[in-house]
Structure 1
Amino acid sequence: MSQNMVFRSKETTMQSSVSVMVYSLSGLDRLNEENVAAAMAVVEETGLSRILVTDGAGKVLYDTRETGSAVGNYVLYAEIVQALMGNDAFSCSYRNGAFRSRASSPVLYQNQIIGSVYAYEYDVEQAALLEGLQSNLLRISAVVGVCVLALSMLLSMALTEKISRLMTAIRQVREGAYSHRAEIRGGDEIAQIGDAFNSLADRLQTTEDARRRFVSDASHELKTPLAAIRLLTDSILQTDNMNRETTREFVADIGMEAERLSRITEDLLQLTKLDSGIIQAPVVVDVLPVLEQAMRMMSLVAQEKGSELTFSAEEGCLVMATRDEVHQVISNLTDNALKYSAGGPVQVSLRKRHGQVVLSVADRGPGIPEADLPRIFERFYRVDKARSRAAGGTGLGLSIVSDTVKRRGGTVEAANRSGGGSVFTVRWPAAEGGDAS
């Protein structure tokens, strides 16, 4: 680019100088050595290396070179030939540390070509400047290239290290080490991927911990009735001449433990369906008929436990669910309240408030310790494990209620009553009217 700029500058300067000389000769009707020398004598010094003036045949009439003058000789430089043909000519080249510039123009008299002016310049000063500029550019380019290479290597190493850490974390988690985390600092995309991976690992670890706890709790819950059944059967088999009443008592106990196993199995199957997303399509359900049916069934349980079961309800409480789900939620909460009410009253109410269908089940039992309230809906979690098993609970009923309600867009919460006891409140989004089941 610098060289081309010099070329353009040379063309402008030399064409201007040649034009001045052509103008000084334009008043002559013909050119000879005497009148050309006189005309050129008044031209200011141009700093050109050589100036030639020829006649119309190419014979040199004027030459500024002192030694080896070409005056009287014929020259056929390409630029002079172009000028004698009526064209302005210019050429410039850069080689061997110098600019070599040539320019020529025709000399006219009454539109007739009577000669030409040829100028030649040999410039080493601007060539030196250009060489210096090129040398500086080379040095700067070399320094910049080295810096870019070093920076690229550093960035590559940093990027490679981050990717290596991320891949190591992925392999660790893939092999089951869910507690392993990718330690990637920074705010670039790799660090963001690392944060997303750590969040995923946290969820996997939480899920794995819950799965292990669930398997452990389920095994423990299944092991207890199985151990009781085995102990009772061994007692029957190893005792000779056991009387009829004792045998019937042991067999009745075995039946109760088998029934408990059946309840645990059914609850586990229900939770498995909920976890796998295998649920029926929701329909519009009128909760009131389902509540009345559940209360008729639970009233027998209340009589056995010596509790008073009452309910109040409003009409038009419609929800998007299935009839079995609503029945299960009502039955589980009511059965849970009857188990822990210690013979006290249990009140069930159904209301429609602010676009929600609200079901509440309240009892006058011992209540729930504040420390246990946040965990009351966890699977197999019991406030009083010994009392819960004695009451026949599996520790899964409230979990089933919570999962069932949440999958239909509702909520369930537990709280203690001011006068003693606890209250469970379920809220479903109210459904629009339609063909309710």
Structure 2
Amino acid sequence: MRSVRARAALGATLVVAVALVLAGLAVLTVLRGNLTDRAGLEAEVAAREVAGQIALGVPYTDLELGDEETRPVQVTDEAGRVVAVSQDLEAISGTGTGAVAPAPSAPARNDDDDDDDDDDPARSQVSSGAPDFANGSATVDGESADYRFAAVEVTTERDVTLTVHAGAPLAAEQEAVGTVRTAMLTGLPLMLLVVAGVTWLVTRRALRPVEGIRRELAAITASEDLARRVPEPDSRDEIARLARTTNETLAVLEASVDRQRRFVADASHELRSPIASLRTQLEVGEAHPELLDVPGAVADTVRLQGLAADLLLLARLDAGERPGRAVVDLGALVREEASQRPADRMPTEVTVADGRSCEVAGSRGQLARVVGNLLDNAQRHAEGSVAVTVRRDGGEVLVEVVDDGAGVPPAERERIFERFVRLDDARSRDDGGAGLGLAIARDVAARHGGTLTVGAAPGGGARFTLRLPAAPGPGGSGRRPG
């Protein structure tokens, strides 16, 4: 059963059916119990009336045994012999004996016994305890029926214990239970049909927006137009939230695809220049070996190699590559990167604060790329010097790279971290920059649970601040990179 509506209708119908069956059984049980108790009470009243007459000394033959047409009465002694029965009683069951005529050997009442015995009330009494009840049947004047029998004990003045069995008909109970059962069996299928139909219609109406979302998604898939959006219902239920989440996902997917397309276009554009320059130099060198610019070809090759490495790293970051968990000393790393810069580059002063550990957890190679990109950017734009400070700040390690150049305008301080963004084409292109260094640095910092921001230096120029969580260890507690 693949339809949600069908499954919902079937599930609701089964639940309602089980609930109605259990409720019906409970109603029938309670109704039968109440009516049976009522019949038992009537039988007890009739039995106590007969027992009272016996206790008063009324002869067995003169006992008034109630409504003989509807209430069979049977009186037995301790041996189970019948001493008295109601008129027209032809058969009986449920009283312990099926006899319907007084036994010849049963004790008979003698009215001429000693008057002292008759006047002793202590010798004649009816049991005050709860009677015994049992279901049985009886045939009275040719008509058989089911009865609820009550058994009451009575002791005569001759110290003879008799048991009076009186029955009340169960016809009313059976008729009422049968009527209710018939009504339930008739109404249950109709009610289940109504429940199934209503559930089907309600589920169909509720799932109509889902079908609209599905059709629109199918159209988006067929057209590959990520600018389209699924319809959002006006309700505030789960389906409306599903539609909004779907549209948000489409928006993120559209932005990601657009960013990927721009990335490919920009990468192709950036690769075209060094490849074209290198090809031109090689072709000139092939035709005129004496004109071959070997240093220029090497420079273009190095630039091409660096651009390819940057593109590869960005692709790995976009693919969700997680940084390593090695412990890296940022102070030593900054000193190492600064010492590897050529001597003709801008002088760099490195200051590492003493006293507290400057270790972080992450990938040494990626962190070295971040520090190297920040140093290259500062040396490219500085006018006289570059200063780098590494210090501990609470649970973080800070790396500040300050240059004395023109600085970054406030309006451009976030834009410079976008890919292939260069604020000054002349100063960037002359040094072979492609606008990827700062974008890579911020991405790597974020992958390590840190941040990279830019601001104004106190004496002018730009100040780049790298914050990374300190590595957990004896030097302090730090949070692990996310």
TM-score by length of 2: 0.64
Aligned partner of residue 414 in structure 1, secondary structure = strand
Aligned pair count reads 399
In structure 2, give the amino acid aligned to 1:329: V
- The CA distance in 1 between the partners of 2:185 and 2:298, in whole Å, is 96
In structure 2, give the amino acid aligned to 1:282: A
Is 1:401 the counterpart of 2:473 in the alignment?
no
Counterpart in the other structure of 2:300: 257
Counterpart in the other structure of 1:24: 53
For residues 12-69 of structure 1, give each alpha carbon's deviation from its aligned partner in whole angstroms, at most 9, with x where no partner exists.
Answer: 212321321232144458533xxx1xx52xx8xx677445667988798864xxxxxx
- The CA distance in 1 between the partners of 2:170 and 2:339, in whole Å, is 119
**Do the aligned partners of 1:31 and 1:114 also contact (CA within 8 Å) in 2?**
no
Counterpart in the other structure of 2:90: 75
Is 1:315 the counterpart of 2:360 in the alignment?
no
Within a 5 Å distance, the mapping from 1:142-291 to structure 2 comes to: 144-157=191-204, 161=208, 203-232=252-281, 244=290, 247-248=291-292, 252-275=295-318, 277=321, 281-285=325-329, 287=331, 289-291=332-334
For residues 249-285 of structure 1, give each alpha carbon's deviation from its aligned partner in whole angstroms, at most 9, with x where no partner exists.
Answer: 5x65444333321221122233345455375551342
Relative to structure 1, is the Cα distance of residues 112 and 264 closer, same or farther in structure 2, using a 3 angstrom cutoff? same
- The CA distance in 2 between the partners of 1:296 and 1:117, in whole Å, is 117
In structure 2, give the amino acid aligned to 1:77: I
- The CA distance in 2 between the partners of 1:183 and 1:16, in whole Å, is 76
Relative to structure 1, is the Cα distance of residues 252 and 279 closer, same or farther in structure 2, using a 3 angstrom cutoff? same
- The CA distance in 1 between the partners of 2:454 and 2:75, in whole Å, is 118
TM-score by length of 1: 0.69
Aligned partner of residue 417 in structure 2, secondary structure = coil
For residues 114-150 of structure 1, give each alpha carbon's deviation from its aligned partner in whole angstroms, at most 9, with x where no partner exists.
Answer: 89776565866x7776677567656775675344223
Is 1:3 the counterpart of 2:52 in the alignment?
no
Residue 322 (structure 1) shift: 5.9
Aligned partner of residue 408 in structure 2, secondary structure = coil
Is 1:336 the counterpart of 2:383 in the alignment?
no
Aligned partner of residue 77 in structure 1, secondary structure = strand
- The CA distance in 1 between the partners of 2:252 and 2:295, in whole Å, is 45
In structure 2, give the amino acid aligned to 1:150: G
Counterpart in the other structure of 1:67: none
**Do the aligned partners of 1:169 and 1:181 also contact (CA within 8 Å) in 2?**
yes
Counterpart in the other structure of 2:12: none
Q: Choose which of 372, 385, 399 in structure 1 pairs with 2:412.
A: 372
Counterpart in the other structure of 2:387: 347
Residue 295 (structure 1) shift: 3.4
Unaligned runs of 5+ in 1: 64-69
RMSD across aligned positions (CA): 4.7
- The CA distance in 2 between the partners of 1:365 and 1:208, in whole Å, is 36
Counterpart in the other structure of 1:12: 41
Relative to structure 1, is the Cα distance of residues 91 and 55 closer, same or farther in structure 2, using a 3 angstrom cutoff? closer
**Do the aligned partners of 1:30 and 1:114 also contact (CA within 8 Å) in 2?**
no
- The CA distance in 2 between the partners of 1:205 and 1:355, in whole Å, is 38
- The CA distance in 2 between the partners of 1:79 and 1:205, in whole Å, is 85
Is 1:91 the counterpart of 2:136 in the alignment?
yes
Deviates more, 1:360-369 or 1:106-115: 106-115
Relative to structure 1, is the Cα distance of residues 267 and 121 closer, same or farther in structure 2, using a 3 angstrom cutoff? closer
Relative to structure 1, is the Cα distance of residues 384 and 121 closer, same or farther in structure 2, using a 3 angstrom cutoff? same
Aligned partner of residue 423 in structure 1, secondary structure = strand
Unaligned runs of 5+ in 2: 1-27, 107-131, 139-143, 476-482
- The CA distance in 2 between the partners of 1:331 and 1:357, in whole Å, is 17
**Do the aligned partners of 1:21 and 1:117 also contact (CA within 8 Å) in 2?**
no
Aligned partner of residue 329 in structure 1, secondary structure = helix
Relative to structure 1, is the Cα distance of residues 367 and 103 closer, same or farther in structure 2, using a 3 angstrom cutoff? same
Aligned partner of residue 218 in structure 1, secondary structure = helix
Counterpart in the other structure of 1:298: 341
**Do the aligned partners of 1:410 and 1:427 also contact (CA within 8 Å) in 2?**
yes
For residues 319-351 of structure 1, give each alpha carbon's deviation from its aligned partner in whole angstroms, at most 9, with x where no partner exists.
Answer: 23566555443332122122223x344333333
In structure 1, give the amino acid aligned to 2:60: L
In structure 1, give the amino acid aligned to 2:326: P
